[in-house]
Amino acid sequence: MTACRICQGSVHQFFDFGSQPLSDGFLRPEETAGEFFYRLAVGVCRSCTMVQLMEEVPRERMFRADYPYHSSMSVKMREHFTRTAHRLLDTECPDGDPLVVEIGCNDGAMLSTVAARGVRHLGVDPSRDVAEVAAGKGVRVRVDFFEESLAREVAAAEGPAQVIYAANTMCHIPYLDSVFRGVDALLAPGGVFVFEDPYLGDVVERTSFDQIYDEHFYLFSATSVRAAARRYGFDLVEVERLPVHGGEVRYTLARAGARTPSGQVEALIREEAQRRIAGISTLEQFATQVKRNIEELAALLRRLREEGARVAAYGATAKSATVTNYGGFGPDLIPAVYDSTPAKQGLLTPGAHIPVRPLKEFSQPYPEYVVLFAWNHAQEIIEKERAFREQGGKWILYVPELHIL
Ligand code: SAH
Ligand code: TYD
Ligand code: ZN
């Protein structure tokens, strides 16, 4: 039995994806022999409802100097983070000399706007290459893991932070106890800790099972986040559903008693209870649907291969590692995946070893069928790649269920 990483309660496993590589572990052909694998299985805590992985991958393996994920590859996400920065500054930092700290600032997609507005800030991110890109945009970055010791050091050197923000990073951190104690040490008495991550409610509703991979250690809900926050003296005071990355929630935490929680918090927690999003039977149903989606995608890919159709994929996402490795989809079924990230191009996808090709080759010539691994950016990509469909190309999506566009 595994103990809950938050409350030590017992965790009920509801899906096992088997042996998986690092989701962002793109590699050169000569590196495939020593590839790292772990067991990807996911469960729910019977006490605090936190959905979490059964096994933890050491953080240094995932967030290395050459970690290849760059936040700014999507126009929509860049706009999202610019808007977020303006809003945090306008609502939380109206006067004085505020300090804004971001955990997992990556290439500076959010903090570059804070920097441009001349506000004191610090980004913390252990991945050197992306941090260097942020620094190039005028962002002050510390290349390190945010945890209690680092937070205490920052607080001593720079004083309290009005805002601590994290996007798609809190769910990456198994050791949330240390992060919460760090936030406690660094946050100003009236400050806010704001974070946004994929939402369990959306993952369950849309069968977006590929949100489950090594880096996504937790799948949060308002219920589980409030329970975790309370253990460290914080209250969940606001929740906001976000359309990005297939459905996320932005959680705003304040020190217990400092702010009155909005009605939205209670409403979302009530909705989660009514929908039983962390209920064992709901999650078992989810598991059945995941198997169906994968089997249908596998059958389609095999049929297309038999017909001699030209197939490829688009978006060498971390998410797709779960799909290709669980489904057993290698280059025999998907000969190439096109992606805009220079740090991924020329390498092989983790585990499945599908070559990653630059976007400029996508139309030379266009494939006939393309699996959209970056389905969370569907609108942006399908619009940008209009010409692909106009000349007869078809998109294959497997979330929420298999369909061809
Ligand atoms: N905030 C960006 C990046 C998300 S990717 C966005 O939403 O697009 C997650 C980032 O968190 C990576 O850049 C990774 O290096 C960083 N990260 C992982 N663990 C961390 C930790 N303990 N402290 C700070 N950053 C961390
Ligand atoms: P994303 O879905 O944001 O995240 P994750 O890796 O966590 O699953 O990754 C999107 C990938 O798709 C990223 O490698 C960049 C790539 N991409 C394109 O190639 N073209 C595009 O137009 C967009 C928006 C993304
Ligand atoms: Zn628990």
The answer to whether residue 1 scores a pLDDT higher than 90 is no
Mean pLDDT for the chain?
A: 98
Asked whether 124 and 105 are in contact (CB, 8 A), the reply is yes
What is the number of residues in the chain?
A: 405
Q: What is the CATH number of the domain that holds 168?
A: 3.40.50.150
Mean pLDDT of 59-71: 98
Let me know if residue 235 belongs to a domain.
Answer: yes
Q: Which residues contact 58 (CB under 8 A, 6 or more apart)?
A: none
The answer to whether the CB of 73 is under 6 A from ligand 2 is: yes
Residue type, 387: A
The model's pLDDT over 293-347, given as tens digits with 9 standing for 90+, comes to 999 999 999 999 999 999 999 999 999 999 999 999 999 999 999 999 999 999 9
- Best substitution site from 83, 101, 137, 169 to test ligand 1's pocket, by max atoms within 8 Å of Cβ? 169
The answer to whether the CB of 168 is under 6 A from ligand 1 is: yes
Residue 78: which domain range?
71-281
Rounded to the nearest whole angstrom, what is the distance from the C-alpha of residue 179 to the centroid of ligand 1? Answer: 13
Q: Which residues contact 347 (CB under 8 A, 6 or more apart)?
A: 26, 27, 28, 355, 356
- Best substitution site from 73, 215, 363 to test ligand 2's pocket, by max atoms within 8 Å of Cβ? 73
Helix (H) or strand (E) holding 141: strand 141-142
Neighbours of ion ligand 3 (CB under 5 A): 4, 6-7, 9, 45, 47-48, 50
Q: Helix (H) and strand (E) counts for the chain?
A: 13, 18
Token pair of 54 as six digits: 């059964």
The answer to whether the CB of 374 is under 6 A from ligand 2 is: yes
Cα 176 to Cα 131, 211, 217, 228: the distances in Å are 22, 19, 11, 9
Quick one: which atom of ligand 2 is closest to the CA of 381?
Answer: 22
Q: Which residues pair with 123 in a beta bridge?
A: 102, 141
Let me know if residue 157 belongs to a domain.
Answer: yes
Residues 16, 39: Cα–Cα separation, whole Å: 8
The answer to whether the CB of 69 is under 6 A from ligand 2 is: yes
Mean pLDDT of 134-146: 98
* Strand order across the 141-142 sheet: 141-142, 120-124, 99-103, 161-167, 187-198, 248-255, 234-242
Asked whether 40 and 15 are in contact (CB, 8 A), the reply is no
The answer to whether the CB of 126 is under 6 A from ligand 1 is: yes
* Exposure b/e, 39-57, CB count within 10 A at least 16 = b: ebbbbbbeebbbbbbeeeb
The answer to whether the CB of 130 is under 6 A from ligand 1 is: yes
Let me know if residue 45 belongs to a domain.
Answer: no
Mean pLDDT of 162-171: 98
The model's pLDDT over 90-113, given as tens digits with 9 standing for 90+, comes to 999 999 999 999 999 999 999 999
pLDDT at 207 (0 to 100) = 98
Q: HSE-up of 70 (CA within 13 Å, CB side)?
A: 20
Categorize the per-residue pLDDT at 142 as very low, low, confident or very high, splitting at 50, 70 and 90. Answer: very high
pLDDT at 305 (0 to 100) = 98
Spell out the SS3 assignment of 269-318. Answer: HHHHHHHCCCCHHHHHHHHHHHHHHHHHHHHHHHHHHHCCCCEEEECCCC
The ligand with the least distance to the CA atom of 46 is: 3
Rounded to the nearest whole angstrom, what is the distance from the C-alpha of residue 314 to the centroid of ligand 2? Answer: 8
Q: pTM of the prediction?
A: 0.98
Number of domains observed in the structure of the chain = 1
Phi, psi of 164 (to 5 degrees): -115, 125
Q: What percent of the chain has pLDDT over 90?
A: 100
Rounded to the nearest whole angstrom, what is the distance from the C-alpha of residue 125 to the centroid of ligand 1? Answer: 6
pLDDT at 65 (0 to 100) = 98
pLDDT at 323 (0 to 100) = 98
Let me know if residue 386 belongs to a domain.
Answer: no
Mean pLDDT of 279-300: 98
pLDDT at 119 (0 to 100) = 98
The answer to whether the CB of 316 is under 6 A from ligand 2 is: yes
Residues 337, 370: Cα–Cα separation, whole Å: 9
Residues 80, 282: Cα–Cα separation, whole Å: 31
Rounded to the nearest whole angstrom, what is the distance from the C-alpha of residue 11 to the centroid of ligand 3? Answer: 7
Rounded to the nearest 10 degrees, how much is the dihedral formed by the CA atoms of 72, 144, 22, 201? -60
Rounded to the nearest whole angstrom, what is the distance from the C-alpha of residue 191 to the centroid of ligand 3? Answer: 27
Rounded to the nearest whole angstrom, what is the distance from the C-alpha of residue 32 to the centroid of ligand 2? Answer: 23
Rg (CA), the chain: 21
Let me know if residue 308 belongs to a domain.
Answer: no
Let me know if residue 142 belongs to a domain.
Answer: yes
The model's pLDDT over 203-237, given as tens digits with 9 standing for 90+, comes to 999 999 999 999 999 999 999 999 999 999 999 99
The answer to whether the CB of 377 is under 6 A from ligand 2 is: yes
Let me know if residue 322 belongs to a domain.
Answer: no
pLDDT at 121 (0 to 100) = 98
Let me know if residue 34 belongs to a domain.
Answer: no
